[in-house]
Structure 1
C-alpha cells in the first residue's frame, strides 16, 4: 500500500497533487500492483491522472479527489486539447450529435487490466468551471463535449465500488470498449440542472454488471451507447442493471442516441425511478439494432422538467427514427416489459417510421397512473433528435403506438387522476400498426373501462 501523503501530496484543496498521485500509481504498477491510498480528511486538488494495471485507488471516508479549475491541467485527447464550441452552434438540447471522444479527460485509463476504484471517499468533477448559459432550469455547458470524470477505455476486469462521484459537467463514468465491468454500491450525485451530466455510460462494452447504486443527474442516469469514434470495440452486450435507485432530468434508463453498433442481451431489473423526465427510453438514430432486452420489476415516477430536456414524462419511450439523411436507423425488436408500475404525467410511447417498424415488443403486468405533477404543460410527445419537427403536439394517451407490429399488451391497467383529464385523449391511440393486441383491464376503482 502506498500512501500519497508519504509521497508528498499536500491535500490542501489548492495545490495540484496530480504529479504525486501519478508517481504513486506508477510505482505501484511497476512493483506488480497494490493499493494507492487517499487518506481521509483532506481535499486533493488534481489535474489528470492515468490509471494503471493491477492498481486499486482507494479513497478513505472524508477524502476528496477534486478536479482542477484549470483546463490546461486535463489530459488532451484530440486536436492537441484545443477546445471548440458545439459544432452545430446550437445548444445541446437541440442538437448533441457526438462521436464519443471528448477533448480532455480527468481520470483516464487506456488498455489496462485489473483496475479498481474503491472506498467511501469522493471524486469531485468541479462542475462550475464549465458553466455556460443558465435558464434557471437548465445549465448549458460553456463548450461541448466537456470533461468526463472517468474515461476508461479498453480496460479489462474493471471494478468501481462504494465511492461517491459528484459535480461532473459531462458524462460521469464513461466506459469505452471495457470488458468484465463491476460497478457496485456507488453514489453518483450531479447537479439536476447540468446539461449532459450523464451518470454511467457503457459505450461498446461487454459483460457489465451495475448494481446497488444510487444515481441523481441532469441528463440520463444509466445510458448505453455505441458512439462513432469507438466502433472498433463492437456491440454493447451481456449487461445487467439491478437494484438501483435513479433520478434524472432526462431518462433514468436509456439506450442511445449514439448507436453505431448493436445493443443486445440486456437485463434491467429491480429498480426504483423517481422525479425523472422519462422512465425508460430506447432512442435509435444510427445503424445499430436493439434486441433481446428485458425490463422487469421496476417502479417509477415521472414528471416534466422544462422544455430543454428531451422527453414529456413518458413512462416508456421507444423510437426508431433517422437522425439525418443517408443514415438509416437500426431496428428495435424482441423487447419485454414485465411488472412495471408508473405514476406520472405521460404513458407509453412507441414510434417507428414508415420503413422501420418497431417489432416484437411485449408489455405484461403494467400499472399506469396518470396525473398532473409539475407546472409544465402537458402537450404530447417528444421525438428529438430527428429530422423535421421534433414534437407531436396533441392530448396524451395511456398507450400511443405508430409504425409498430407484433406488439402485445397484457394485464394492463390505466388509471386517470382528475388533474390529467384536461390533457387526456384516450386510453389507446393507434396509427400504422400490424398485429397489435391490447388487453386493458378495469382497475378496482372502476375508473377505466376494459377494451381489447
Structure 2
C-alpha cells in the first residue's frame, strides 16, 4: 500500500507568494525515510526554487496544482550547477542538472505524475555554449547575418548562470523513471532533460515551451507516447548522445509513438488559440517543433522506432550524426506532416566532430521510413539524404512516401556547397537544386512507392543525385506542371528502376 504524504503537513502554503520548495523537499525526504511513497501536491500555486527528488518517491500534482518556478533574487536561488569535468564538448545546459526546478541524480524508481502543472515562469532559457575551442558548428549557418550583440545574447557568460534555474525537470544517471500526465509550461532551456537514464517511460505529457521539449541524452530502454509538445523555437522531441557523462554512450532501444509536435506561438497550444504571429525561430529559420536525432551525437543511436506521430507547423524529421557516432537501425512509420518549414526529411552524416582530437566521422546505416505523408512543405528544400565524401550514408529504404511541396521556385545554377563541419540543418546548403529529393554521398538507397508533387509549377528537376553508389527506384511518381528534367545524375553508379514524370 502506497504511503501518501501531503506537502502541507510539512509547512507548504500554496499561496503563490511563499517559497514552498523547502517544505516540498522535507516531504520528499520524509517519504524516502519511510521506504518510499507518494508526495501529494494539492491544488494551489506552490512557488519554488529547486525541488530535489529521492529514490522510491513519486511526486504527484493534483488537478489545480501548480509548481511555479520562482524568480531568483532576494527570496532565494536555484541549486548551483554541480561541477562536471566532462563539460568541454556540449553546452552548459547539457552539462549540469542540479540548477533546475525539479532534479534527480543517481536515483531509482522515481515518478512525477499529474494532472497538475509545472510552470517554469522564473527559469531562464539561455545558457553558454560549449567550451570547445574550435567552436565549429555551434551556431547554425542561418544565424550568419545576426549581429555580435544578438549572438552574444544567445551565448551568455557562465557567471550569469549562478542562481538561475534553466530546466524544468533534469534527471541524471537514474533508472526506472516515469513521467506521466503532467503539463509543463515555459520549461526554460529544456522542459525535460534526461541524461544517462535507463528504463524511462514518458506518457501523456503536454508541453508548451520556449526551447526544447524532451531532450533524451544517452538514454536506454525509453518509451515516449501520447505526448503533445509545442516548441516553436527549438526541438520538441530530440534524442542526443553527448559526452556529458564522460563517455561516448549510445542512445538505444527508444520507442516514440502517437505523439503530436508543433511550432505554434509559445503558450498558444495550452490556451487553445494555436497562434501563428511568429514566423521565425531564433536561428532565423522557420519554426522548429520537430522530432530529431542529433545534434550532439558522440555515442550514436541504435534501435530507434518512431511511429504514428504528427508534425504541424514545424521542421521535418531530422536524423543526424555529426560528432563521430553511428546511427543504426532506425525504423519510422505512419508519419503525418503539415506545414513543414524546412525539409520534410533530413538524413545527414556530417563531420563537425565536436569530440576529442582524432575522432573519425561516424555514419548512418539501416534507416527504414514507410508510410510518410507531408503537405505544404517549404519549397526551398527538397528532402535530403547526404553523407561526406568517403563516408556515405548507407542502406536507406523509403517506401510509401507522399510529399507535396509548395513549388514555385526557379531553376538554380551552381553546385551545392560541402559544409562538413557546419551545424546540421537543411538550410546549411541553401536552396536545393531539386524540388523533391537531393541525394549526395550515399550508397544502397531504395525508394519504393513514392509520390512527389508540387502545388505550383517548379523550374527545378525533381531528383538530384551526386556521388551515389546503388540507387534503386520502384514506382516513383512525379507531379509538377513544369517542363523540367525529372532526374539529374552526377557520378552515379548502379542506378536501377525509373521515375514517372
TM-score (ref. length: structure 2): 0.75
Return the alpha-carbon distance in structure 1 between the equivalents of residues 114 and 441 of structure 2: 48
- Shift in CA distance, 383/206, structure 1 to aligned 2, threshold 3 Å: farther
Return the alpha-carbon distance in structure 1 between the equivalents of residues 418 and 318 of structure 2: 11
TM-score (ref. length: structure 1): 0.83
Confirm or deny: 8 A CA contact 2:198 2:219 kept in the other structure. Answer: yes
Deviation of the 1:381 alpha carbon: 8.6
User: Does 2:10 align with 1:7?
Assistant: yes
- Can you list the C-alpha shifts for 1:205-264, whole angstroms capped at 9, x where unaligned? 111000011011121111111111214483111110001111143251111111111310
Deviation of the 1:14 alpha carbon: 2.2
Confirm or deny: 8 A CA contact 1:270 1:296 kept in the other structure. Answer: yes
- Shift in CA distance, 173/284, structure 1 to aligned 2, threshold 3 Å: same
Deviation of the 1:442 alpha carbon: 3.2
Return the alpha-carbon distance in structure 2 between the equivalents of residues 140 and 130 of structure 1: 9
Return the alpha-carbon distance in structure 2 between the equivalents of residues 380 and 266 of structure 1: 34
Gaps of 5+ in 2: 128-145, 264-286, 409-413, 487-497
Residue aligning to 1:151: 170
Deviation of the 1:141 alpha carbon: 7.0
- Can you list the C-alpha shifts for 1:255-302, whole angstroms capped at 9, x where unaligned? 1111111310111001111110x2210121112111011000000124
Confirm or deny: 8 A CA contact 2:119 2:184 kept in the other structure. Answer: yes
RMSD after superposition: 3.3
Deviation of the 1:316 alpha carbon: 0.7
User: Does 2:179 align with 1:160?
Assistant: yes
Alignment of 1:148-227 (within 5 A): 148-191=167-210, 197-217=211-231, 218-227=233-242
Return the alpha-carbon distance in structure 2 between the equivalents of residues 381 and 116 of structure 1: 48
Deviation of the 1:26 alpha carbon: 0.3
2:372 match: secondary structure = strand
Gaps of 5+ in 1: 81-85, 88-94, 192-196, 305-312, 374-378
- For 2:471, which of 436, 441, 445 is the aligned residue? 436
Return the alpha-carbon distance in structure 1 between the equivalents of residues 78 and 416 of structure 2: 39
Return the alpha-carbon distance in structure 2 between the equivalents of residues 147 and 274 of structure 1: 26
User: Does 2:298 align with 1:263?
Assistant: no
Residue aligning to 2:360: 328
Return the alpha-carbon distance in structure 1 between the equivalents of residues 201 and 298 of structure 2: 24
Confirm or deny: 8 A CA contact 1:231 1:261 kept in the other structure. Answer: no
- Shift in CA distance, 382/14, structure 1 to aligned 2, threshold 3 Å: farther
Residue aligning to 1:100: 94
Deviation of the 1:100 alpha carbon: 2.6
Return the alpha-carbon distance in structure 2 between the equivalents of residues 120 and 165 of structure 1: 11
- Shift in CA distance, 327/425, structure 1 to aligned 2, threshold 3 Å: farther
1:149 match: secondary structure = strand
